[in-house]
Amino acid sequence: MSFHWNVERARFNMIEQQIRPWDVLDPAVLSLLTIVRREDFVPSAYRSLAFMDTEIPLPASPGRSETMLAPKVEARMLQELLLAPHETALEIGAGSGFVAALLARRARHVLTLETDPALARLAAGNLERAGVHNATVRELDGSGGLPGEAPFDAIMMSGSVAAVPPALLDGLKIGGRLVAIVGQQPIMRAVRVTRTGEHGFASADLFDTVAPRLHGFDEPSAFRF
């Protein structure tokens, strides 16, 4: 019984001490964080870190290093995506499946892409155990977009990129939003790009942070001419 109480106390503290101070104030997002059990998506070896303000290592394929984003970053990006219940969402970088589970509670359907086979299996298993039936995991590189499935109402990139590929922006419906962390260490910025028309996009800077790179996205050339 005491273990259950400690978990709920830790969850409460995460929300009140880490997430609210990061301007996550949407009651629907805050209530989701009490419903979707983050500890069930954290590898058992790191379960004690489930509610800490830190990135958590994931059991990726050999030679790969992958992590869950810090809870406040996940929550703020979710809030900034402005999802509605009738919408479809695409996530790039499934990781443990936790963000897909959050997205699935707010959207009609979520397609989440993961290039690492071990993580694609982990995410699919976690989502199934959590009873999330409107999220699909696909082992795929999302950098070229998904022309066969697009357009989407919302796209979330669960990691950082040097720049958002035009192919992903092309996969937004008019009125659709993409949230990503863009830039180079030590300065990166979360941005929301909204498609305003057939050829129009509006970009808003959201907050500064640093996040691990998503695999499969081009880095800028180091050469200067």
Q: What is the CATH number of the domain that holds 74?
A: 3.40.50.150
**Do the domain assignments include residue 216?**
no
**Do the domain assignments include residue 221?**
no
Query: In the predicted model, what is the mean pLDDT of the chain?
Result: 93
**Do the domain assignments include residue 145?**
yes
**Do the domain assignments include residue 215?**
no
Residue 75, both tokens: 């929550």
pTM of the predicted model, to two decimals? Answer: 0.94
Cβ partners under 8 Å of residue 44, min gap 6? none
Q: Residue 118 is inside which H or E element, if any?
A: helix 117-129
Separation of alpha carbons 171 and 72, rounded Å: 27
Query: What pLDDT, in 10s, does the model give residues 119-169?
Result: 999 999 999 999 999 999 999 999 998 888 999 999 999 999 999 999 999
**Do the domain assignments include residue 168?**
yes
DSSP state of 22: G
Query: What pLDDT, in 10s, does the model give residues 21-74?
Result: 999 999 999 999 999 999 999 999 999 999 999 999 999 988 888 999 999 999
Residue 124, both tokens: 């699919």
**Do the domain assignments include residue 134?**
yes
Query: Angle at Cα 174 formed by Cα 95 and Cα 218, nearest 5°?
Result: 40
Can you give the residue range of the structural domain that contains 134? Answer: 2-209
Domain count, the chain: 1
- Determine the pLDDT at residue 217: 85
**Do the domain assignments include residue 222?**
no
